[in-house]
């Protein structure tokens, strides 16, 4: 099938590459000329395991192309996926300007029946806005009555760092279609496109458009709620003298609760949870409903991003000037170079803001971190000078009062603790992802601070 993907970011690039891998003829459009140039020169603008191979293979056989040519992109695909960003607006609601711009472009150039698929995470009712934008452009061209299209909602559930795997082996495919004639045609084309994913058992959940749009927010809000809930419990566990890891096992074994997404830590980041929780809460507000739970989820997470900073201040005092710290892990989670809403940015704000010097390491996010942190600290060039990027994780420890860990990369899981001790000024670790066993750390002479595990920390 001929497919166009509008927006070649994390979701668009993975979607385009994976659909090409399944034999489709895919055209990826982006307005970012640099991104398209990188892709056309054989590069990949993001770090995502397994993606480079798929892109190279399908580019080589001509099933995957990248371009900034809008007219050509509209002409190419009978199915047009909109996968542009939906960042938070000033008030936290989803900013739909990129989605509407993409829709307008389709309306400007389309000449035959198109299925327009909202792949971006968009609030309930957005399909109607996309439809209206296309109709308005067709009306300008006096084609509003003869050129038909249908807007479908097909939200994406992939996780960064496992995006290719998640896309190729989805646990569900959610598709919302209208029940008019154009909607029925759209449904038939979507069914054909997704047939390879449903071979062994049916994974597609067909529903109306609004329910599909809502499902995406409901899923992310539920997952974020679990994390904030566990973080609240972990903070209480620290106070009452319980171990959150034992509690996690104890409750996760109940199949009604399950084990995943119960890890306490230094807050959730990324391009989805923070903005989607906010956006759903703002949608509710627009309809006169106060989503109390989601407001709390957001507040708890904002507070949780300070948990490591608070523990460090408690241990070393408010004024950190002249003190030097090491930080392992900058990306918002392992296996990605994505720095969006990463907890490391909040911790660095606190440490540098209090006068400390910090040496940081991340296995893949260093270049992106440099770019993002230069922007974060654009108004504090002096603070930025106290930040040092280290290519080697042990080198980052040299002379530090303590090590703080923010991202659970595999290479931080079992370091040579003798080396760690040798490099640090004193054996102190603030672990924002509960990577180590407090009793073991204590036995080998480390002063160890986890999240919700203080009962086991003897120092």
The site for ligand UDX (CB under 6 A) is made up of 156-160, 220, 223, 227, 261-263, 265, 268-270, 272-273, 332-333
Q: Rule CB under 6 A: is residue 8 a binding residue for ligand NAD?
A: yes
Nearest one of 450, 447, 457 to 435, comparing CA atoms: 450
In angstroms, give the least distance from the CB of 101 to ligand NAD.
Answer: 4
In angstroms, give the least distance from the CB of 149 to ligand UDX.
Answer: 26
Helix residue ranges, H only, 110-205: 126-140, 163-168, 181-194
Q: Rule CB under 6 A: is residue 120 a binding residue for ligand NAD?
A: yes
Question: Which of 48, 160, 245, 431: binder of ligand NAD (CB under 6 A)?
Answer: 160
CA distance 256 to 251: 9
CA distance 144 to 29: 25
Q: Residue 240: exposed, middle, or buried by beta-carbon count in 10 A (0-12, 13-18, 19+)?
A: exposed
The token pair at 454 is: 């203080």
101 binds, among ligand NAD, ligand UDX, none (CB under 5 to 8 A by kind): ligand NAD
Closer residue to ligand NAD, CB minimum distance, 158 or 387: 158
Which residue matches tokens 């989601």? 294
In angstroms, give the least distance from the CB of 196 to ligand UDX.
Answer: 20
Which residue matches tokens 């708890």? 300
CA distance 441 to 12: 43
CA distance 226 to 451: 16
Nearest one of 206, 197, 282, 265 to 19, comparing CA atoms: 197
Q: Is 458 annotated as a binding residue?
A: no
Q: Rule CB under 6 A: is residue 83 a binding residue for ligand NAD?
A: yes
Identify whether the C-beta of residue 101 lies closer than 8 Å to the C-beta of residue 134.
no
Q: Is 264 annotated as a binding residue?
A: yes
Closer residue to ligand NAD, CB minimum distance, 12 or 450: 12
Question: Which of 19, 20, 24, 35: binder of ligand NAD (CB under 6 A)?
Answer: 35
Q: Is 262 annotated as a binding residue?
A: yes
Single out the segment in contact with ligand NAD by CB under 6 A; choices: 27-35, 230-238, 383-391, 429-437: 27-35
The SS3 call for residue 421 is helix
Q: Is 138 annotated as a binding residue?
A: no
Active site residue 18: no
Q: Is 121 annotated as a binding residue?
A: yes
The token pair at 35 is: 């991104």
In angstroms, give the least distance from the CB of 121 to ligand NAD.
Answer: 4
In angstroms, give the least distance from the CB of 235 to ligand NAD.
Answer: 27
344 binds, among ligand UDX, ligand NAD, none (CB under 5 to 8 A by kind): none
223 binds, among ligand NAD, ligand UDX, none (CB under 5 to 8 A by kind): ligand UDX
265 binds, among ligand UDX, ligand NAD, none (CB under 5 to 8 A by kind): ligand UDX
Q: Rule CB under 6 A: is residue 11 a binding residue for ligand NAD?
A: yes
Count of C-beta atoms within a 10 Å radius of residue 379? 7
Count of C-beta atoms within a 10 Å radius of residue 142? 8
Q: Is 387 annotated as a binding residue?
A: no
Q: Which residues pair with 361 in a beta bridge?
A: 328
Instruction: Determine which one of 18, 28, 272, 390 is catalytic.
Output: 272
In angstroms, give the least distance from the CB of 450 to ligand NAD.
Answer: 27
Residue nearest to ligand NAD (CB): 9
- Give the H/E segment covering residue 153: strand 149-153
The token pair at 276 is: 């989607």
CA distance 331 to 319: 27
CA distance 35 to 349: 29
Binding-site entries for substrate? 157-160, 216, 261-265, 269, 333
Binding-site entries? 30, 35, 86, 121, 157-160, 216, 261-265, 269, 275, 333, 340
Q: What amino acid positions are annotated as catalytic residues?
A: 272
Where along the sequence are the contacts to ligand NAD (CB under 6 A)?
6-12, 29-32, 35, 83-86, 98, 101-102, 120-121, 156, 158, 160, 271-272
């Amino acid at each position: 099938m001929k497919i166009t993907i509008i927006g070649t970011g994390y979701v668009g690039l993975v979607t385009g590459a994976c659909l090409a891998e399944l034999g489709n003829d895919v055209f990826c459009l982006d307005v970012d000329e640099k991104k398209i140039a990188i892709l056309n020169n054989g590069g990949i603008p993001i770090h995502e395991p397994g993606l480079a191979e798929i892109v190279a293979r399908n580019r080589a056989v001509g099933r995957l192309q990248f371009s900034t040519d809008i007219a050509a992109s509209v002409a190419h695909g009978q199915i047009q996926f909109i996968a542009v960003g939906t960042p938070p607006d000033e008030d936290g609601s989803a900013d739909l300007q990129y989605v509407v711009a993409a829709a307008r472009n389709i309306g400007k150039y389309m000449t035959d029946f198109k299925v327009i698929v909202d792949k971006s995470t968009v609030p309930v009712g957005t399909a109607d806005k996309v439809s209206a934008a296309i109709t308005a452009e067709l009306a300008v061209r006096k084609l509003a009555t003869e050129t038909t299209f249908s807007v479908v909602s097909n939200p994406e559930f992939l996780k960064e760092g496992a995006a290719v795997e998640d896309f190729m082996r989805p646990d569900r495919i959610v598709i919302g279609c209208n029940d008019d004639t154009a909607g029925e045609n759209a449904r038939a084309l979507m069914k054909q496109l997704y047939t390879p994913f449903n071979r062994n058992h049916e994974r597609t959940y067909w529903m109306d458009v609004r329910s599909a749009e809502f499902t995406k927010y409901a899923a992310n809000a539920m997952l974020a709620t679990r994390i904030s809930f566990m973080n609240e419990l972990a903070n209480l566990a620290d106070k009452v003298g319980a171990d959150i890891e034992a509690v996690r096992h104890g409750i996760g074994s109940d199949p009604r609760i399950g084990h995943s997404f119960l890890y306490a830590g230094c807050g959730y980041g990324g391009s989805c949870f923070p903005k989607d929780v906010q956006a759903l809460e703002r949608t509710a507000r627009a309809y006169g409903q106060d989503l109390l739970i989601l407001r709390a989820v957001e507040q708890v997470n904002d507070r949780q991003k300070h948990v490591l900073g608070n523990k460090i201040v408690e241990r070393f005092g408010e004024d950190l000037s002249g003190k030097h710290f090491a930080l392992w892990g900058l990306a918002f989670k392992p296996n990605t170079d994505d720095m969006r809403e990463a907890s490391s940015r909040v911790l660095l704000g606190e440490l540098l803001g209090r006068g400390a010097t910090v040496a940081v390491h991340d296995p893949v996010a260093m270049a992106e971190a440099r770019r993002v942190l230069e922007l974060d600290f654009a108004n504090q060039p002096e603070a930025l000078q106290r930040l040092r990027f280290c290519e080697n994780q042990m080198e980052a420890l040299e002379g530090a009062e303590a090590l703080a860990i923010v991202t659970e990369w595999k290479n931080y899981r079992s370091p040579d603790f003798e080396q760690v001790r040798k490099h640090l000024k004193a054996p102190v670790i603030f672990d924002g992802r509960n990577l180590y066993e407090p009793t073991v750390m204590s036995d080998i002479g480390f002063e160890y601070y986890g999240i919700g595990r203080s009962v086991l920390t003897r120092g």
